[in-house]
Amino acid sequence: MGSSAHLATQLDVEMLSTLGITIAASSTPDSSLQVWNGPDFAKEVPRLLVRYLRKGQVGRLTGGSDRPQWVTLTPYAPDDLISWLALPAPLDPPSHCLLLDAAQLDPRPILGPRWVRLGGGIEFLLPGGFPPQAVVPLGWEIEIR
């Protein structure tokens, strides 16, 4: 079976580049990443953020979280997630995702973009997590296949 992970990632690179947004090196510390507020990010980058979840996490984040969360713009199939996002627990790939509206994150910041260390994808950090109203469009998880 083939994969479109490379194409999906390259299309995001192309979009960010066209918008004049530089992707930081994977070694860039969090404190050196570009800081966005949610509404400005949503205007500049008209895409939802994706927070991937494992089965054991389903139902735990629909009410938001105050803990740091890593998200991406890129849709990946479960078989691609571990390698492209360098996720821990490689024998348990994510099966679901939450879609997040950046405009609803304010006043919580968005840091990034940055290349994933030891992966091939692009990540953003939500150091303050996200509120429940950021979960769209349904307010619950979506199964990925």
**C-beta pairs of 55-58 under 8 Å, 24+ apart in sequence:** 55/92, 55/95, 55/96, 57/96, 58/95, 58/96, 58/141
- Residue 47: both structure tokens together: 């895409």
Task: Report residues of the chain scoring pLDDT below 70.
Answer: 1-2
Number of domains in the chain: 1
- Could you tell me the pTM of the whole model? 0.94
Is 100 in contact with 133 (CB distance < 8 Å)? Answer: no
What pLDDT was estimated at residue 2? 60
Residue 62: predicted pLDDT = 93
Q: Which domain holds residue 116?
A: 5-143
